Copies of this chain bind each other. A is one copy, B any other.
Amino acid sequence: METPNFNLNTEIVEKGFRLFAEKMGHPTQVIQMMEFDLPKYHDIPSDNVFLEILASPIDYADLLNIRGLYGTQPPSFPLFTGNEGIFKVLAKGPDVKKLDIGDIVFINSYGLGTWSSHLTLHETAVVKLEQPIDIVSGSMLRVNMFTAYRMLHDFVKLNNELIVVQNGATSHVGQTVIQLCKSMGVKTINIIRQPQLSETYNILKKMGADEIVTIEHTDNVDMKKIMSDLKKNSWFDQTKVVLGLNCIGGVYSQIVENLLACGSTHVTYGGILKKSMEASISSLIFKNIKFVGFLINKWLQDNNNSKFYDMMLHDTTKLIHNGSYFRPPFKCFPLSQYKSVIETFHNDRAHSILPYRIIFTKNINFIQHLATIVAKL
């Protein structure tokens, strides 16, 4: 019954393993690993592909979701965890036409459980990468890179005379914003929370940050000083600051707000401080600043298969492909080390200067090479 289109062309393994949460709770307590039988080729539905993990990152939102703290609806349990990643097509059903064995794909749908050694998915749940790109960066396309890209394209028409201000500049979205803006000729003002260590400063500068503003004492933010420092740049003109990006909240959101021009847009895509966003009545009424939110899952749900999607995929993968994209610091672990990895995630996140990303991958042998691997298509 073997069909010509179906061919398991790698080493034969019979067991897969994946992470899941049995119930809502703290990730260190509720995440478990399960072993499962890999499907026989004749069990794979004809329009499905059988995939092997290359890289799947932990997003902060993934962990919040397991705790029931992400979104307005609590998630259903048991929950397969992980929401993005790069996989390799090991086999495909006979009706799959657009993908081939050996293709490198990334997972485009939400909630499929990408912290898994293997996945069997409908062909429409994955997107083939058309050009060779760094796997580490590519594994983070869907959540952080797409979020950065959309926020720079959907709210204000940017051009090389305009300025974007963001807090959370050291986050992966923040780093991507800096680099996308650089490629568009748009200036960025980057507000960071940590003391301005030369390491952080140099990395962000290398990525293309035009100005970095460090806030050490939140009780007494000196807007006059910030403004006068900004004015030392010949390119700075407050009427050009048309877009503000906020993922922190509290006083960091207000600094973004204060720097914005009349008629600009303030986009919230996260709330690390877990506080409501405050907007002054004056900004709303007299400066006509719009305060909106952005969620990539919602956008992808509404715009899948659109020309905007294709342009975004093209532009972001091209940036990685060109080698001009600085990926964030990262550490790779096999899925089997999930307990210690997740346990230290929160602490590391809170204390690291430039937060590194944690990426799950297949096994330890693969990891040793991952940093230098570029997917060959």
Whole-angstrom CA separation of A279 from B277 in the bound complex? 5
Quick check: A295 and B286 within 8 Å, CB to CB? yes
Q: Within the complex, which residue of B72, B284, B288 is in contact with A286, where a contact is CB–CB below 8 Å?
A: B72
A159 neighbours in B (Cβ, 8 Å): none
A280 neighbours in B (Cβ, 8 Å): 276-277
0 or 1 for each of A257-297: is its CB under 8 Å from B? (1 = yes): 00000000000111100111111111111111111111100
Whole-angstrom CA separation of A292 from B291 in the bound complex? 6
Quick check: A268 and B285 within 8 Å, CB to CB? yes
Quick check: A294 and B285 within 8 Å, CB to CB? yes
Quick check: A291 and B279 within 8 Å, CB to CB? yes
Q: Does A71 contact B (CB under 8 A)?
A: yes
Quick check: A278 and B281 within 8 Å, CB to CB? no
Q: Does A244 contact B (CB under 8 A)?
A: no
**Residue among A269, A285, A289, A290 with max Cβ neighbours from chain B (10 Å):** A285
Q: Known contacts being A276-B280, A277-B279, A278-B277, is A293 close to B298, with CB within 8 Å?
A: no
A138 neighbours in B (Cβ, 8 Å): none
Whole-angstrom CA separation of A284 from B249 in the bound complex? 12
Interface size class of A (residues with CB under 8 A): 20 to 34
Quick check: A281 and B249 within 8 Å, CB to CB? yes
Quick check: B277 and A284 within 8 Å, CB to CB? yes
Quick check: A290 and B288 within 8 Å, CB to CB? no
Minimum CB–CB distance for A270 against chain B, Å: 7
Quick check: A282 and B249 within 8 Å, CB to CB? no
Q: Known contacts being A276-B279, A278-B278, is A284 close to B288, with CB within 8 Å?
A: no
A269 neighbours in B (Cβ, 8 Å): 285
Whole-angstrom CA separation of A294 from B282 in the bound complex? 10
Q: Within the complex, which residue of B277, B281, B282, B290 is in contact with A281, where a contact is CB–CB below 8 Å?
A: B277
Whole-angstrom CA separation of A366 from B330 in the bound complex? 80
Whole-angstrom CA separation of A294 from B71 in the bound complex? 29
A282 neighbours in B (Cβ, 8 Å): 71-72
Q: Within the complex, which residue of B249, B285, B293 is in contact with A289, where a contact is CB–CB below 8 Å?
A: B293
Closest B residue to A276 by CB, please name it. Answer: B278
Quick check: B291 and A291 within 8 Å, CB to CB? yes
Whole-angstrom CA separation of A291 from B71 in the bound complex? 19
Minimum CB–CB distance for A217 against chain B, Å: 20
Q: Within the complex, which residue of B281, B283, B284, B295 is in contact with A285, where a contact is CB–CB below 8 Å?
A: B295
Quick check: A279 and B281 within 8 Å, CB to CB? no
Quick check: A276 and B271 within 8 Å, CB to CB? no
Quick check: B276 and A71 within 8 Å, CB to CB? no
Whole-angstrom CA separation of A268 from B280 in the bound complex? 10
A284 neighbours in B (Cβ, 8 Å): 268, 277, 291-293
0 or 1 for each of A230-249: is its CB under 8 Å from B? (1 = yes): 00000000000000000001
Q: Within the complex, which residue of B275, B277, B288 is in contact with A293, where a contact is CB–CB below 8 Å?
A: B288
Closest B residue to A266 by CB, please name it. Answer: B291
Whole-angstrom CA separation of A256 from B354 in the bound complex? 39
Q: Known contacts being A72-B287, A286-B72, is A281 close to B271, with CB within 8 Å?
A: yes
Task: Kindly list 4 other residue pairs between chains A and B, CB separation below 8 angstroms, not including A268-B285, A286-B295.
Answer: A268-B281, A271-B285, A277-B281, A279-B291
Q: Chain A residues in contact with chain B, CB under 8 A?
A: 71-72, 249, 268-271, 274-295, 298
22 sampled A-B residue pairs with Cβ under 8 A: A72-B286, A249-B281, A268-B281, A271-B285, A274-B281, A275-B281, A276-B280, A277-B278, A277-B280, A277-B284, A278-B278, A278-B279, A279-B279, A284-B291, A284-B292, A286-B295, A287-B293, A288-B293, A288-B295, A289-B293, A290-B290, A291-B291
